[in-house]
């Protein structure tokens, strides 16, 4: 009995089994949430997917856009929030403690975290530009074409999700596109996965970068892979240094929420050029300064929280 227990507690076996448990939960809950969403679309939005599976591709239909937002809400809860919470229990941990949701948050830390997000925006825009101009080998031409078509569809859908011409739609978008993804993705990636990998590999940097890779890859957009990798690492180090998931939830929300607000009709019509989606600063020192300022603010955040987190045991 003892030998059997020692086998299951071996680090490699423990890692594989718990990873399979998490992946299994995400798959099962995704199937369940998708099924619930599809079967209830007609009742809520008059969209009959069962009779016409292609109807969800009609992005010009407002009911379809609302339906897709509804499905996103269901899948965000089912694929990210519930598995993250239950995964903590699979590790024999109390979810609130394991995910670090019980840490105190000071407004000064929230302000610095918010400033950090805005500080790195020029650098992220430059990364997007670099990423989009990466040329794949000629042998991958067909794959590249398919990828570009898929990303064009994704971008079209994203713009429809962000579009808002009244305050009600803006409020809905802030919840669906900004708040819910911030909470859901941070619970899973930083809260569950980064903590799990950190304890498994006993290496903070490996945990941060592996999770950042997964965070970027799961969005299935090559043109945004490196910017999301950078953002994922930034969130990972903010979580590592502060030991507070609320910090990264705020950062994630600010990043998404800024895009939502900028696409609100009355604001979008009057945005200055440098705040437009495709704008990239040409001066290298602005982009370099953006990255350096981001690092400085990250280190400031670390300094502000280090003593409280590690010495006071919060």
What is the residue-wise DSSP string for 44-69? HH---TTT-GGGGG-TT-HHHHHHHH
pLDDT at 10: 64
pLDDT at 280: 83
Quick one: 18 and 107 in the same domain?
A: no
Quick one: 124 and 82 in the same domain?
A: no
Quick one: 230 and 146 in the same domain?
A: yes
**Burial status of residue 262 (CB atoms within 10 A of its CB: 0-12, 13-18, 19 or more):** middle
Quick one: 85 and 152 in the same domain?
A: no
pLDDT at 173: 92
Residue pair 82/64 in contact (Cβ under 8 Å)? The answer is no
Q: What tens digit of pLDDT does each residue of 239-253 get?
A: 999 989 999 999 999
Quick one: 38 and 132 in the same domain?
A: no
Quick one: 154 and 206 in the same domain?
A: yes
Q: The domain containing residue 240 runs over which residues? A: 97-314
pLDDT at 152: 76
> What span, in angstroms and rounded, lies between the C-alpha atoms of 287 and 130?
12
Quick one: 206 and 63 in the same domain?
A: no
pLDDT at 144: 72
Quick one: 40 and 169 in the same domain?
A: no
Q: What tens digit of pLDDT does each residue of 199-246 get?
A: 888 889 999 999 999 999 887 777 788 999 999 999 999 999 998 999
Q: What tens digit of pLDDT does each residue of 177-199 get?
A: 999 999 999 999 999 999 999 88
Whats the size of the chain, residue-wise?
A: 314
> What span, in angstroms and rounded, lies between the C-alpha atoms of 95 and 191?
9
Point out the residues of the chain with pLDDT beneath 50: 1, 3, 311-313
Quick one: 50 and 106 in the same domain?
A: no
Quick one: 85 and 104 in the same domain?
A: no
End-of-domain residue from the set 36, 62, 92: 92
Quick one: 191 and 76 in the same domain?
A: no
pLDDT at 156: 78
End-of-domain residue from the set 50, 77, 92: 92
Quick one: 119 and 49 in the same domain?
A: no
pLDDT at 11: 66
> What span, in angstroms and rounded, lies between the C-alpha atoms of 187 and 268?
31
Number of separate domains in the chain: 2
Q: Is the overall model pTM greater than 0.85, yes or no?
A: yes
End-of-domain residue from the set 74, 92, 110: 92
Q: Is the dihedral of CA 100, 103, 109, 114 positive or negative?
A: positive
């Amino acid at each position: 009995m003892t030998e059997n227990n020692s086998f299951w507690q071996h680090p490699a076996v423990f890692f594989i089994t718990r990873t399979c448990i998490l992946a299994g939960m995400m798959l099962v809950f995704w199937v369940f949430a998708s099924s619930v969403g599809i079967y209830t679309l007609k009742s809520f939005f008059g969209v009959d997917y069962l009779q016409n599976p292609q109807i969800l591709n009609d992005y010009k239909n407002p009911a379809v856009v609302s339906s897709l937002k509804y499905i996103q809400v269901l899948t965000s809860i089912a694929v990210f929030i519930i598995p993250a919470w239950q995964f903590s229990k699979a590790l024999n941990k109390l979810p609130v403690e394991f995910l670090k949701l019980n840490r105190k948050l000071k407004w000064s830390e929230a302000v610095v975290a918010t400033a950090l997000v805005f500080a790195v925006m020029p650098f992220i825009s430059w990364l997007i530009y670099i990423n989009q101009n990466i040329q794949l080998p000629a042998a991958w031409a067909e794959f590249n074409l398919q990828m570009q078509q898929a990303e064009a569809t994704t971008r079209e859908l994203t713009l429809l999700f962000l579009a808002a011409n009244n305050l009600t739609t803006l409020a809905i978008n802030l919840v669906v596109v900004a708040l819910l993804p911030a909470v859901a993705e941070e619970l899973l990636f930083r809260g569950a996965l980064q903590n799990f990998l950190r304890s498994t590999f006993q290496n903070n940097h490996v945990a941060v970068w592996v999770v950042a890779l997964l965070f970027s890859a799961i969005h299935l957009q090559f043109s945004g892979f490196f910017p999301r990798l950078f953002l994922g690492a930034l969130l990972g180090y903010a979580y590592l240094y502060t030991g507070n998931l609320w910090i990264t939830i705020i950062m994630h929300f600010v990043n998404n929420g800024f895009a939502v607000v900028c696409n609100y009709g009355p604001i979008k019509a009057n945005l200055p050029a440098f705040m437009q989606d495709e704008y990239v600063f040409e001066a290298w020192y602005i982009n370099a300064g953006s990255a350096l300022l981001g690092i400085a603010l990250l280190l400031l955040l670390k300094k502000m929280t280090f003593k409280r987190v590690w010495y006071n045991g919060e």
